[in-house]
Amino acid sequence: MTSTISPAQLDHTAERLRKVFNTGRTRPLAWRREQLKGLRSMLIEREEDFLAALATDLGKPRLEAWVTEIGFTINEINLTLKNLKRWTKPKRVSTPMFIKPGSGRVIREPLGTVLVIAPWNYPLQLALAPLIGALAAGNTVALKPSEISSATSNTITRLVPQYVDAEAVSIVEGGVSETQNLLQQKWDYIFYTGNGAVGRQVMAAAAQHLTPVTLELGGKSPAIIDKSANLEVAGRRLAWGKFLNSGQTCIAPDYALVDKSVKDELVKYIQASITDFYGSDPSTSPDYARIINDRHFGRLTALIDSGSVLIGGQHDGSTRFIAPTVLDGISGNSAVMQEEIFGPILPLITVNSSDEAIAFINERDKPLALYVFAQDDKVIDRVLDQTSSGGVCVNGVILQVAAPNLPFGGVGESGMGNYHGRASFDIFTHAKPVLRRGTRPDPALAYPPYTKKKEKMIRRFS
């Protein structure tokens, strides 16, 4: 880990950024646009630096890294630049008779000084996407990338200050102690992405200063495969979404609840897709990522023993490779069902109906994503109506996160608050209501002394 910030500087990060915010220089639209354009130039000009860092950290294939980390983030910047002027415009609202003369407006003001804490699995996108929202809203920002994806963290720390107002954006490298230090400081907003255990610590620290938070957490996101599903498409899309980034995706389908009448056919299509995507030996494929570190590698390989291996199961500690794996003979009590998998292992749980799948989901924590593969609209409607999750994709996986006009976030154990596009701008601003009163006329009606006549009039106009 390389830290360019001394402990003494770290202690005063929020204070320093607040001073910059209080100068007012981050408020004008022009400043905000300049920061976003700076980030976009960085992603374009320094693409190779980021691709190399992502390959070092996670063995991310080039195209996958470009689409999910760089292209995604450029799209977010472009959408924000296109709409920012409209989003920042005060919104007029009507005022009732008894307040006239007067007019009401809602002004979107920046919150001030915000802290963004990012995880390691999409270490660039998940650091920059909240940063985009925070800067678009006119805040000063401290960004703490994940120390676990250290190459990307180093690259962000080295490059971001060259492309944005470096006094208004502080990149703080470090791990638990640096993050805990930041969490002791007073922020106007904290945006955290990561696991729920740390999420609880973030919220407890935020409570000391009554700081509002967004918590983007994880959990076990189920996929229901109904007997009416197009199984070939379901198999292909499940395999893509599960094995993308070697399963280290917060909205990867964690496990599948499969109607027993279609299980064998589904497995056949998953197997065919794995071979199509990665060849007969995925360890030699340039398009398949690696596990982030030895700790996660050990945790995941132990989970393979939870059931019988239908596909895959091979692994190699020296390269942290785990083959795309499908497990059978799994129940709700199996070890692999007790925690978020976050790796390339897909357990299949057989159900007799989609109603049984719905009941299984409702006995557990609310997931970040829920997937349903079905052609029968009644099944889809029942799933939408009877379950709760951060988001849903019907007959697909993952792509709900890439639709910029769909807010993204969790509910219950999978988190709180939404972001992306307009939703990012909204969370990093305060909707300030302003009533401007005229001074003439100023009738005596509403002021004491109160008379019967005044009461009659007021009751009439209220």
Q: Which stretch binds ligand NAD (CB under 6 A): 19-27, 33-41, 143-151, 381-389?
A: 143-151
Spatial CA neighbour of 138 closest among 109, 105, 170, 171: 109
Is the sign of the CA dihedral 315, 317, 321, 327 positive or negative?
positive
Does residue 115 contact residue 182 with C-beta atoms inside 8 Å?
yes
Number of residues that bind ligand NAD (CB under 6 A): 28
Q: Which stretch binds ligand NAD (CB under 6 A): 68-76, 213-221, 297-305, 355-363?
A: 213-221
Exactly one of 69, 173, 250, 340 is catalytic; which is it? 250
Using CB under 6 A as the criterion, what x/- string covers residues 377-416 for binding ligand NAD?
A: ---------------------------------x----x-
- Residue 286: CB atoms within 10 A of its CB come to 10
Q: How far is the CB of 218 from ligand NAD (least distance, A)?
A: 2
Residue nearer to ligand NAD on the CB measure, 236 or 420: 420
Q: CA-CA distance, 22 to 139, in Å (whole number)?
A: 10
Q: How far is the CB of 292 from ligand NAD (least distance, A)?
A: 8
Count of helix runs (H) and strand runs (E) in the chain: 17, 20
- Residue 94: CB atoms within 10 A of its CB come to 7
What is the CA 85 to chain-centroid distance, rounded?
A: 24
Using CB under 6 A as the criterion, what x/- string covers residues 118-137 for binding ligand NAD?
A: xxxx----x-----------
Residue from 147, 165, 232, 356 binding ligand NAD (CB under 6 A):
147
Exactly one of 216, 340, 393, 413 is catalytic; which is it? 216
> Annotated catalytic, 216?
yes
Spatial CA neighbour of 412 closest among 362, 366, 360: 366
Residue nearer to ligand NAD on the CB measure, 69 or 216: 216
Annotate 316-335 with three-state secondary structure. Answer: ECCCCEECCEEEECCCCCCH
Two structure tokens written together for 367: 């997931």
Helix, coil or strand: residue 8: helix
Q: Which residues in the 312-371 window bind ligand NAD by CB under 6 A?
A: 340, 342, 368
Two structure tokens written together for 2: 């390389």
Is the sign of the CA dihedral 207, 212, 218, 224 positive or negative?
positive
Whether a cis peptide bond, with omega within 30° of 0, leads into 123 is: no
Residue 222 makes contact with ligand NAD by CB under 6 A: no
Residue nearer to ligand NAD on the CB measure, 141 or 380: 141
Q: Which stretch binds ligand NAD (CB under 6 A): 45-53, 90-98, 215-223, 428-436?
A: 215-223
Which helix (H) or strand (E) is 215 found in, with range?
strand 213-216
Q: Which residues in the 157-176 window bind ligand NAD by CB under 6 A?
A: 175-176
Using CB under 6 A as the criterion, what x/- string covers residues 9-48 for binding ligand NAD?
A: ----------------------------------------
Q: CA-CA distance, 394 to 413, in Å (whole number)?
A: 22
Residue 180 makes contact with ligand NAD by CB under 6 A: yes
Using CB under 6 A as the criterion, what x/- string covers residues 182-211 for binding ligand NAD?
A: -----------xxx--x--x----------
Q: Which residues in the 79-118 window bind ligand NAD by CB under 6 A?
A: 117-118
- Residue 39: CB atoms within 10 A of its CB come to 23
Residue 210, beta-bridge partner list:
none
Residue 53 makes contact with ligand NAD by CB under 6 A: no
Q: What amino acid positions are annotated as catalytic residues?
A: 216, 250
- For binding to ligand NAD (CB under 6 A), which residues are involved? 117-121, 126, 144, 146-148, 175-176, 179-180, 193-195, 198, 201, 216-218, 250, 340, 342, 368, 410, 415
